[in-house]
Structure 1
Amino acid sequence: MTETAPYVPQEPGDLVTADAWNTMQERIYEDIRSTAQDEAGKVTHVASADDAARLEGLDLAGLTAEIARRVLDDVRGNSGYQQLFKVLKGGEVTVLEHGLGTAPLVDLYQLEYFEVATREDDETRASFATFYLCQSEERRVRVPTADGSGRRAVDIQPADGPDLGIPWVELLTRYEVPYTDTTTLDDLETEFWRAFFADPNDRFNDDQYSHSPWFERCCRDKQTVKRLKENGDWNDILFIMHPRKTVNFGGTGFSTEDEVRLPRPANVGVQHLDNNRTALWFEPPHRPDSGTESRARQYINDPHSPVPDPDQDLTGQTGRFERELKLMVLLKV
């Protein structure tokens, strides 16, 4: 684009609609592809005929997609939009140094624990995670039951809902994780978590993120980025999380016969301190429902214990799970 011809003209105060955003993406992609083709047509000599149509292993389509991904991520970052991952501790105030120059809209999504399949010590087992790396074809994995008497299935993708997952390559770009074709998957994963949990995000405990059996095998075999691309797996690695939109209501919630249930995230306060800082705080108790979250609660309180049986009633369990709250925080001006 030029300085006098924006892709999608907008006036101060206009809403950025889905149609406008999609149109901008399409025009950016078309502009990059057209420019790349024009520049390629000017080349009259190449050092290697085999590499004439490629740059760093990417053909024109791959190069266009990579440039477009980086451009759109920059556009998103410069638009006053921020996505943060925070761990709120009961009774503590978390200050977000967003530097947006005005009080942003604040949107909160609780990061739920969900059951996953991992592989450690040459054994596939069930555990719980907040963030999970896997291959898109890993939809259901069989694991030993809690008592060791048999096996049961863990659904990586919801059996009765739409698929989840962000292409990992997009997050590698967003968090500026460096790698080359010779970088091994295990080294790349280490660098990714280091970048992902860096400021302004919070550091999550080691028991809150993991990877799948497929991912573990590739790490053990020292698979490189180049090999993953050649095998067609590179773009199929997914980053899965379960952020759930919640609303805070006034009052103490509603009660059942044996407990009081609060809306989630329960008792989260938001206050703008000035035009560049926003405070969040969480007041326990946080009371998860029974079911998957209660089983996760028991496991997180004691991660060295076996994963609870899916049919076990754990409503009465308490501990760290109720004293902290993990959130995806969206800021927009």
Structure 2
Amino acid sequence: MVDTPAPYIPHSAGDLITAEDWNAMQVDVRQDIATQIATSIANVKDVAHATNADTLDGKNLADLTQAILDQVFAQLPKRTGYMRVFCNLKLHADKIIPHNLKAYPVTDLYQLDYFEVVCAKGEKTEDAVAEWVLFYLYHADERRLRIPPHTDAIDIETDPKFRILWKTLIDYFKEQGLLDYDDNTTLDDLEVDFWRAMFKSPPNDEFDPDSYCHSPWFEKCCGEKRTVGELTKHGDFDDIYLKVKPQKTINFPSGTGFPTPDPDAGATAEPTNVRVSQLDLDTVALRLLEPPIYPASLGPAPTEKTPIVPLPEGYKDRLPVMLLLKV
């Protein structure tokens, strides 16, 4: 049953409504409305969720975070920089390297070590030769290789391993506009473009063609004109590696005069006799001051049964290095 509201000022039929009654009723109405509003507000424990409460200017939290990160990343290249350069330093000659980083960069220098591999020179297995190289493309299954028919095996993968996933490098070169490829690109064409991007993109130096090669598996795929798409389908494209051995020694025991080769190849100081000069905020220079120091084991055949191609003439007057620049 609905309660009948009581009148603000009770009157009977025929009673006179005075001005005082009218004013009093207005006061009572105002007080009643205020009381009801206060009671209603006190009873509200939650409000309906606004449709745009989680957004700012139409962007949700994820959008706002990404927008902020985009602005930060846009500013980072203006304040930071990184460069990797492969150099083949000549004795008593300055190697000028423009980096355009607008600051004196932190420089880090690594000697590129020669290592023994089996280089494929043709589709026939007997065409393969053992060589000392600086860069080598091979398949992950080729951990040890030999030159048939009766030679000792050469360890392609050592412990620890020196290797870079090839796909990582070519994707990086593609982003830099140094090469292009797709699923229809053949492996042999991609390799040619890769070496060009490695050594013919300034300020990198060109290296002697005998200082890099590929494995018998690689040669077979090149001869068969295998494409990137075919290799990817069979899972081989992610098993191709580039082997390169950048190394340096820190706090090597000092002696008198310039360092000399150590009988233990693993204990030879490297790199040695290199001066790094910060010419200005955009340029550094490297200079090989004395003949480089190579491990005493470099040069002869690994075993009597495995003949190895000698290093190129004049290698003792050059030092292959990897320079890293960072600001």
Aligned with residue 318 of structure 2, among 324, 328, 331: 324
Find the aligned partners of 1:318 and 1:180 in 2 and give their Cα distance.
Answer: 36
Find the aligned partners of 1:223 and 1:175 in 2 and give their Cα distance.
Answer: 21
Normalised TM-score (structure 1): 0.66
Equivalent pair of 1:271/1:279 in contact (CA under 8 Å): yes
Match of 1:115 in 2: 116
Equivalent pair of 1:253/1:262 in contact (CA under 8 Å): no
Give a deviation string over 1:55-99, Cα, whole Å, max 9, x none: xxxxxxxxxxxxxxxx9xxx8998411111011000100111000
Find the aligned partners of 2:280 and 2:216 in 1 and give their Cα distance.
Answer: 46
Equivalent pair of 2:134/2:211 in contact (CA under 8 Å): yes
Match of 1:21 in 2: none
Q: Which amino acid in 1 is paired with 2:166?
A: W
Q: Which amino acid in 1 is paired with 2:187?
A: L
Match of 1:30 in 2: none
Aligned with residue 181 of structure 2, among 170, 179, 182: 179
Find the aligned partners of 2:77 and 2:163 in 1 and give their Cα distance.
Answer: 19
| Structure 2 counterparts to residues 220-231 of structure 1, below 5 A | 220-231=223-234
Question: Cα 1:104–1:257, aligned 2, differ >3 Å: closer, same or farther?
Answer: closer
Equivalent pair of 1:284/1:322 in contact (CA under 8 Å): no
Normalised TM-score (structure 2): 0.67
Find the aligned partners of 1:257 and 1:119 in 2 and give their Cα distance.
Answer: 32
Match of 1:191 in 2: 193
The SS at the match of 2:68 is coil
* Larger Rg computed on CA atoms: 2
| Structure 2 counterparts to residues 279-290 of structure 1, below 5 A | 279-290=285-296
Deviation at 1:126, TM superposition (A): 1.1
Match of 2:66 in 1: 2
Aligned with residue 294 of structure 1, among 294, 299, 318: 299
Give a deviation string over 1:222-268, Cα, whole Å, max 9, x none: 0011110111101111011011123486962456999xx98322210
Match of 2:244 in 1: 241
| Structure 2 counterparts to residues 1-333 of structure 1, below 5 A | 2-5=66-69, 79-121=80-122, 122=124, 123=126, 124-144=128-148, 150-158=150-158, 161-176=159-174, 177-197=179-199, 198-247=201-250, 252-253=257-258, 263-291=269-297, 293-295=298-300, 308-310=301-303, 320-333=314-327
Find the aligned partners of 1:321 and 1:118 in 2 and give their Cα distance.
Answer: 19
Give the unaligned 5+ runs of structure 2. 1-64
Q: Which amino acid in 2 is paired with 1:245?
A: K
Find the aligned partners of 1:244 and 1:257 in 2 and give their Cα distance.
Answer: 16
Equivalent pair of 2:97/2:283 in contact (CA under 8 Å): yes
**Residue identity (%):** 37
Question: Cα 1:93–1:113, aligned 2, differ >3 Å: closer, same or farther?
Answer: same
Give a deviation string over 1:93-112, Cα, whole Å, max 9, x none: 01110001111111010001
Equivalent pair of 1:288/1:294 in contact (CA under 8 Å): no
Equivalent pair of 1:108/1:246 in contact (CA under 8 Å): no
Give a deviation string over 1:264-313, Cα, whole Å, max 9, x none: 2221001101000011100222232221x233xxxxxxxxxxxx35369x
Q: Which amino acid in 1 is paired with 2:100?
A: G
Question: Cα 1:255–1:139, aligned 2, differ >3 Å: closer, same or farther?
Answer: closer
Find the aligned partners of 2:226 and 2:78 in 1 and give their Cα distance.
Answer: 32
Give the unaligned 5+ runs of structure 1. 10-70, 296-307
